Amino acid sequence: MEPHTAAQEIPLIDAVERHGYLFGHPIAHSLSPLFHQTVYDGLGLKWSQFLLDSLDMKLFLRLREDPRFYGASVTMPHKLAILKHLDGLTPEAAAVGAVNTLFVREDSQTGKRLYMGTNTDVVGIRDSFYQNIPDPDSCFHERPALIIGGGGAARSAVYALRMWMKASRIYLVNRDRAEVKAVIDECTARGYGDSLVDVATVEQAQQLEGVGAIVACVPNFTPQTAEEMEARRVLECFLQKPHKGAILEMCYHPSPWTEIADIGRREGWSIILGTEAMIYQGLEQDKYWTGREIHEMPVKKVHGVIAARLSEARL
């Protein structure tokens, strides 16, 4: 069934000075509107973000014409489809080839409204490490890194690790070799795919240098197939090596404490919960929309509100 349209939102939208959307499907359980409302309230802005749970791109393109529209979070399945409807991209959005944030600027020559795209997922990954690890040099700088998974989040992780986090090499661990090849091929074509290594077996992992940063980009599940079990054993091989770094577990729904987080903690690794990546990518979005810097935003309150909501969801 096609989700709701904006007609249901109009009374709420009329009650605020400026508004944005979370555009995607399915998004009913998203924490994004709560997150951004906490920021806007803390800044004294009469703004709100509304859910646009829809597959209808034409509807969204009409809605963004409202002069009170400040921008949108863009999630699946629209992160690629939105590209052809934008006037420009930031360097990271162009490099990753996907947009999760639409923001509005004005052409200084013509006064025309410009719809711009960026990708703050990469910033969320980067800042999760730098905001939680006090000594990056001893933890993960100039060391190999490891990514578990083969989807869009894995591509964002490659960009963050390669461009900002000083990873010397990046190991890719996944149950599906074709997915790993697709990540390597795409990142290479976009100019940041050097030193990517498909690690398929425990025997291969045993011969490789230990890693400093791990980004887990897979759902929380117990391995069932032979390929899944081998990928888990490869991860455990790296976790058991002498150097203990930090794991960012991107999965946080329904709980941020996943099997991978538990295994990592038992092996002596620092665990960064996936809510951190969600929070820091969201704060970066609000930088684009409000023009404020992160130090001006209610960061501690945002952490508290998100933690409380997740606790409620687990009861």
pLDDT in the model for residue 5: 47
In this predicted structure, the answer to whether residue 304 has a pLDDT above a threshold of 50 is yes
In this predicted structure, the answer to whether residue 187 has a pLDDT above a threshold of 60 is yes
Q: Which amino acid is at 178?
A: A
Catalytic residue among 79, 241, 244, 301: 79
- State whether 187 and 161 are in the same domain: yes
**How far apart are the C-alpha atoms of 108 and 64, rounded to whole Å?**
20
pLDDT in the model for residue 257: 84
Strand partners, 73: 22, 101
Helix (H, G, I), strand (E, B) or coil at 141: coil
Furthest C-alpha separation in the chain: 62
CATH classification of the domain holding 239: 3.40.50.720
pLDDT band at 3 (very low <50, low <70, confident <90, very high): low
Average pLDDT over residues 188-202: 94
Residue 71 within any structural domain of the chain:
yes
- State whether 133 and 252 are in the same domain: yes
* Torsion sign (Cα): 69, 75, 171, 95: negative
Residue 312 within any structural domain of the chain:
no
Last residue of a domain, one of 72, 87, 119: 119
- State whether 113 and 129 are in the same domain: no
- State whether 142 and 235 are in the same domain: yes
Query: Strands 18-24 and 69-74, how do they pair?
Result: parallel
Q: What is the number of alpha carbons within 13 Å of residue 33 lying toward its C-beta?
A: 16
- State whether 29 and 78 are in the same domain: yes
Last residue of a domain, one of 119, 142, 172: 119
Residue 287 within any structural domain of the chain:
no
Residue 309 within any structural domain of the chain:
no
Residue 84 annotated among the catalytic residues of the structure: no
- State whether 127 and 113 are in the same domain: no
- State whether 127 and 269 are in the same domain: yes
In this predicted structure, the answer to whether residue 311 has a pLDDT above a threshold of 50 is yes
Per-residue pLDDT tens over the stretch 83-109 = 999 999 999 999 999 999 999 999 989
**How far apart are the C-alpha atoms of 53 and 70, rounded to whole Å?**
18
**N-terminal to C-terminal alpha carbon distance within the chain:** 29
Residue 307 within any structural domain of the chain:
no
Count of structural domains within the chain: 2
- State whether 269 and 135 are in the same domain: yes
Question: Any idea of the CA torsion for 26, 174, 215, 168, to the nearest 10 degrees?
Answer: -140
Whether a cis peptide bond, with omega within 30° of 0, leads into 3 is no
Last residue of a domain, one of 98, 119, 140: 119
Supply the pTM of this predicted model: 0.90
- State whether 91 and 133 are in the same domain: no
pLDDT band at 9 (very low <50, low <70, confident <90, very high): very low
- State whether 60 and 189 are in the same domain: no
Give residue 102's domain range. Answer: 6-119
- State whether 66 and 89 are in the same domain: yes
What are the C-alpha distances in Å from 51 to residues 69, 90, 180, 183, 209? 14, 25, 33, 31, 45
pLDDT in the model for residue 313: 64
Question: In sequence order, which ranges of the chain are alpha helices (DSSP H)?
Answer: 10-14, 32-43, 57-63, 91-96, 121-132, 136-139, 152-163, 177-189, 202-206, 226-239, 259-266, 274-290, 299-314
- According to DSSP, residue 220 is labeled S
- State whether 196 and 171 are in the same domain: yes
CATH classification of the domain holding 77: 3.40.50.10860
Sheet architecture: strand order including 69-74: 47-53, 18-24, 69-74, 101-106, 113-118, 88-89
| Cβ-contact 63, 56 below 8 angstroms | no
CB atoms within 10 A of CB 69: 18
In this predicted structure, the answer to whether residue 197 has a pLDDT above a threshold of 50 is yes
**How far apart are the C-alpha atoms of 95 and 107, rounded to whole Å?**
23
Average pLDDT over residues 127-133: 97
